[in-house]
Amino acid sequence: MNNKKPLEHPRRPAVFFDRDGVLNVDTEYAFEIGKFVWINGAIEAVKAVNDAGYFAFIITNQSGVARGLFEEKDVHLLHQWMASQLAEHGAHIDAFEYCPFHPDGAVERYRFASNRRKPKPGMILDLLNRFPVDASKSFVVGDKPSDVEAARAAGLPGYLFQGGNLRNFLVPLLGQSK
Would residue 18 show up in a list of annotated catalytic residues for this protein? yes
Residue 40 DSSP SS3: coil
Peptide bond into 119 cis (omega under 30): yes
**Candidates 20, 94, 143, 147; catalytic one:** 20
Other Cβ atoms within 10 Å of 113 Cβ, number: 10
**Is-contact 132 10, C-beta < 8 A?**
yes
DSSP label of 118: T
DSSP label of 34: G
Burial degree of 172 (CB within 10 A; 0-12, 13-18, 19+): exposed
DSSP label of 83: H
**Candidates 18, 94, 143, 147; catalytic one:** 18
The C-alpha atoms of residue 32 and residue 17 are separated, in whole angstroms, by 19
Catalytic center residues: 18, 20
